[in-house]
Chains A and B, each alone.
Chain A
Amino acid sequence: MAQTDVGGSAPDTASGVGSPTRARIAARTLRTDRWWVEPALTFTLLCLWLLYALIRTASQRAYFVAEYHYLSPFSSPCLTASCDPAARDFGTWFGKFPPFVPFGLLVLPFLLGFRLTCYYYRKAYYRSFWLSPPACAVAEPHATYTGETKFPLIMQNLHRYFFFAAIIVSLVNTFDAVKAFHGKDGGFGIGLGTIIMVANVVLLWAYTASCHSCRHLIGGRLRHFSKHPVRYKLWTQVSRLNTRHMQLAWTTLASLLVTDAYIGLVASGHLTDLRLFN
Chain B
Amino acid sequence: MTYDAHFRVWRGDQEGGDLVDYTVEVNEGEVVLDIIHRIQATQAGDLAVRWNCKAGKCGSCSAEVNGRPRLMCMTRMSTYAADETVTVTPLRAFPVTKDLVTDVSYNYAKARQIPAFAPPVGVAPGEYRMQQVDVERSQEFRKCIECFLCQDTCHVVRDHEDNKEAFAGPRFLIRAAELDMHPLDARDDRADFARDEQGIGMCNITKCCTEVCPEHIKITDNGIIPMKERVADRRYDPVRWLGRTITRRKA
Contact = CB atoms under 8 A, between A and B. Distances in A.
A139 B157 CA distance: 11
A126 interface: yes
A220 interface: yes
A270 interface: no
A250 B52 CA distance: 43
A123 B206 contact: yes
A246 B86 CA distance: 32
A147 B202 contact: yes
A34 interface: no
B159 A140 contact: yes
Nearest to A32: B66
B61 to A, nearest CB: 16
Interface stretch (B26-34, B110-118, B227-235): B227-235
Nearest to A135: B208
Contact of B203 (A147, A154, A213, A226): A147
- Closest 3 pairs (CB-CB, A-B): A30-B67, A31-B67, A16-B159
Contacts of A215: 226
A149 B204 CA distance: 10
Interface stretch (B39-47, B92-100, B168-176, B241-249): B92-100
A16 B160 contact: yes
Interface string A222-234: 0111100000100
Nearest to B210: A136
Given A137-B64, A212-B225, A223-B181, A24 B204 contact: no
Interface string A29-63: 11111000000000000000000000000000000
Nearest to A147: B202
A39 to B, nearest CB: 11
B232 to A, nearest CB: 5
A22 B92 contact: yes
- The A contact surface, by secondary structure, is loop
A19 interface: yes
A23 B17 contact: yes
Interface of B: 10, 12, 14, 16-17, 19, 64, 66-69, 84, 87, 89-90, 92-96, 102, 131, 133-134, 153, 155-156, 158-163, 180-183, 199, 201-208, 211-212, 221, 225-226, 228-233, 235-237
Contacts of B87: 30, 32
Contacts of B203: 147-148
A98 B28 CA distance: 72
Contacts of B66: 30-33
A146 B69 contact: no
A41 to B, nearest CB: 16
12 contacts: A20-B14, A23-B102, A24-B17, A30-B87, A33-B66, A123-B206, A136-B68, A138-B67, A147-B156, A226-B133, A226-B134, A232-B133
A268 to B, nearest CB: 41
A260 B235 CA distance: 39
B236 A145 contact: no
B50 to A, nearest CB: 14
Contact of B236 (A16, A29, A146, A157): A157
A216 interface: yes
Contact of A17 (B14, B93, B133, B236): B93
Contacts of A224: 131, 134, 183
Contacts of B161: 15-16, 19
Contact of B155 (A23, A132, A216): A132
Given A23-B17, A157-B236, A136 B208 contact: yes
Most B CB within 10 A of own CB, among A25, A154, A243: A25
A220 B66 CA distance: 38
A186 to B, nearest CB: 44
Most A CB within 10 A of own CB, among B14, B84, B131, B232: B232
Given A16-B161, A21-B95, A226-B134, A147 B67 contact: no
Contacts of A242: 221
A13 interface: yes
B236 A158 contact: yes
Nearest to B202: A147
A160 interface: yes
A73 B94 CA distance: 50
Contacts of A137: 64, 67-69, 92, 153, 158, 208
Contact of A139 (B16, B159, B162, B163): B159
A1 to B, nearest CB: 8
